[in-house]
Chains A and B, each alone.
Chain A
Amino acid sequence: MRFIILSIVCIFICQPVSSQENIPVETANITQKNVKLVDLTIDELKERIYHSTKNTKVIYFYRNSNTCEASRLMNPAINELYLKHKDKFDLFVVSRANKKNKESLHNYLFFEGYYFPVYMIGRNSFRSMFNKLCPDCNHRIIGYSGFFILDSNNTLLNQTNYDLSKDEKIQMLSSYLD
């Protein structure tokens, strides 16, 4: 018995328990087919945004949660808001991933249970993205996990900045959805 106990103790201590951080998400019945990943140019995306007739259009700058702390907080919140209010606004989630990373991005969206539509526009700089999509935005104060809001005429209603917390960003967005 002593021999058995000693070996158990050893094995217990030897276990390689990883230190991976976990990102809580709601349990969603998302399937591979539900993952919405669209590959297009920045001009094509602009056309989609500008042709939308919704009173509120939100353009959100996406990055995988495991590489960006702000995105780790914001992505699930945006997903939740989208699921609750998708009839009230058009959400354009913009990813700078390129075609080469399409499969891994697809896997990531499924893994996280994200339903929102993601538009892959490739490696455009933030400056060029804003020049195209929102010339009136201040691109110097916004980055991943930030967004701007347009009305049906594509006039800028509001935008986030680096100083806003997750809750403040969600509050800002929610105020346009009531």
Chain B
Amino acid sequence: MKKSHLHFLFLLLICSVVQGQNPIYEFHDHDSIDKFLKGNQFEYNEDELFIFKEFEGFFNYTNEGYLRGPVVHVFDSNGLYLEYLKVSEVIDKLSNFKNIRKKPKKDAINIDSWINRLVNYKTLTPLIKEADKDYYFVLNWGIFFNKPHNIEALFKWNEVLQRQKLNGESIQIIVLNMDLQESWKLSSEQQMDILKQANQ
């Protein structure tokens, strides 16, 4: 066995002990996402709901450590990463933006590197970054969370941000569905291989 494989196996063991979750992974398309959201009566704007354009984009995102949720990632007016909001901070920071971290770290990533990977979940058209916004919010969620209250929480945060928009705040909201996508056009063998291992 290669060293890198051993490394991942080690991580796998550690992670499974620490988290103890029971997520369920499936491939989804816009119909199944709509069905899930409507079935659970979550309010959402179709124009703000995005997925990864390709498997590679999803893979890079996971490798960079951002595949976590429910979570809100915040970027400043220049598109630089500020912070992700912990559950305990969400009320104060989403209700009052002055509580959000002011300055990005020196090595902060730019939201462009994410935006280029994303497309609308229904139309598959590329995400366009709106110009001159004070903040950009990326809300991560997935049907695979398998904890309905976590998804409920995320869509409530979305509601709060929608209210902020109505309040005149200059923001762009990106609701990012992180599920595996049919639109990636993986072969059925590749899909089955992924699901088999992910749902073990």
Q: Give A contacts to B, CB under 8 Å.
A: 1, 3-25, 27-33, 103-104, 106-108, 110-111, 113
Question: What is the bound-complex CA distance between A104 and B93, given in angstroms?
Answer: 10
Q: Is B19 a contact partner of A13 (Cβ separation < 8 A)?
A: yes
**Would you call B62 an interface residue if the criterion is a C-beta within 8 Å of the partner chain's C-beta atoms?**
yes
B168's nearest neighbour on chain A, judged by CB, is A31
Given A15-B19, A17-B69, are A107 and B96 also a contact pair (CB < 8 Å)?
yes
Given A6-B5, A7-B8, are A1 and B190 also a contact pair (CB < 8 Å)?
yes
Whole-angstrom distance from the CB of A72 to the nearest CB of chain B? 13
> Within the complex, which residue of B67, B91, B149, B167 is in contact with A21, where a contact is CB–CB below 8 Å?
B149
Q: How large is the interface on B (under 10, 10 to 19, 20 to 34, 35 or more residues)?
A: 35 or more
Q: Is A29 a contact partner of B19 (Cβ separation < 8 A)?
A: no
Q: Is B11 a contact partner of A111 (Cβ separation < 8 A)?
A: no
User: Which residues on A sit within 8 Å (CB–CB) of B131?
Assistant: none
User: B4, B163, B168: which has the most chain A beta carbons within 10 Å?
Assistant: B163
Question: What is the bound-complex CA distance between A29 and B62, given in angstroms?
Answer: 35
Question: What is the bound-complex CA distance between A95 and B148, given in angstroms?
Answer: 31
Question: What is the bound-complex CA distance between A44 and B9, given in angstroms?
Answer: 66
Q: Is B5 a contact partner of A3 (Cβ separation < 8 A)?
A: yes
User: Which residues on A sit within 8 Å (CB–CB) of B145?
Assistant: 17
**Would you call B170 an interface residue if the criterion is a C-beta within 8 Å of the partner chain's C-beta atoms?**
no
Given A21-B149, A31-B167, are A9 and B67 also a contact pair (CB < 8 Å)?
no
Interface window among B46-54, B107-115, B152-160 = B152-160
Whole-angstrom distance from the CB of A58 to the nearest CB of chain B? 26
Chain B residues touching A, majority SS? helix
**Would you call B31 an interface residue if the criterion is a C-beta within 8 Å of the partner chain's C-beta atoms?**
no
Given A6-B5, A16-B19, are A11 and B67 also a contact pair (CB < 8 Å)?
yes
Whole-angstrom distance from the CB of A1 to the nearest CB of chain B? 7
Q: Is B19 a contact partner of A113 (Cβ separation < 8 A)?
A: no
A15's nearest neighbour on chain B, judged by CB, is B68
Question: What is the bound-complex CA distance between A3 and B156, given in angstroms?
Answer: 37
Q: Is B194 a contact partner of A5 (Cβ separation < 8 A)?
A: yes
Q: Give B contacts to A, CB under 8 Å.
A: 4-5, 8-9, 11-12, 15-16, 18-19, 21, 23, 25, 43, 59, 62-63, 67-70, 87, 90-92, 94-96, 99, 144-145, 147, 149-150, 152-153, 156, 159-160, 162-163, 166-168, 190, 193-194, 197-198, 200
Q: Is A113 a contact partner of B152 (Cβ separation < 8 A)?
A: no
Q: Is B193 a contact partner of A9 (Cβ separation < 8 A)?
A: no
A29's nearest neighbour on chain B, judged by CB, is B166
> Within the complex, which residue of A1, A11, A21, A31 is in contact with B163, where a contact is CB–CB below 8 Å?
A31
Whole-angstrom distance from the CB of A75 to the nearest CB of chain B? 14
Q: Is B96 a contact partner of A18 (Cβ separation < 8 A)?
A: no
Q: Could you list 21 A-B pairs, sorted by A, with CB under 8 Å? A: A3-B4, A6-B12, A7-B62, A8-B194, A11-B62, A14-B15, A15-B21, A17-B23, A17-B70, A19-B150, A21-B149, A25-B156, A29-B163, A31-B163, A32-B96, A107-B92, A107-B95, A107-B99, A110-B160, A111-B94, A113-B159
Q: Is B95 a contact partner of A108 (Cβ separation < 8 A)?
A: yes
User: Which residues on B sit within 8 Å (CB–CB) of A104?
Assistant: 91-92
Question: What is the bound-complex CA distance between A104 and B95, given in angstroms?
Answer: 9
Q: Is B68 a contact partner of A31 (Cβ separation < 8 A)?
A: no
User: Which residues on A sit within 8 Å (CB–CB) of B9?
Assistant: 6
Q: Is A18 a contact partner of B19 (Cβ separation < 8 A)?
A: no
Q: Is A30 a contact partner of B163 (Cβ separation < 8 A)?
A: yes
Q: Is B160 a contact partner of A111 (Cβ separation < 8 A)?
A: yes
Q: Is A15 a contact partner of B69 (Cβ separation < 8 A)?
A: yes
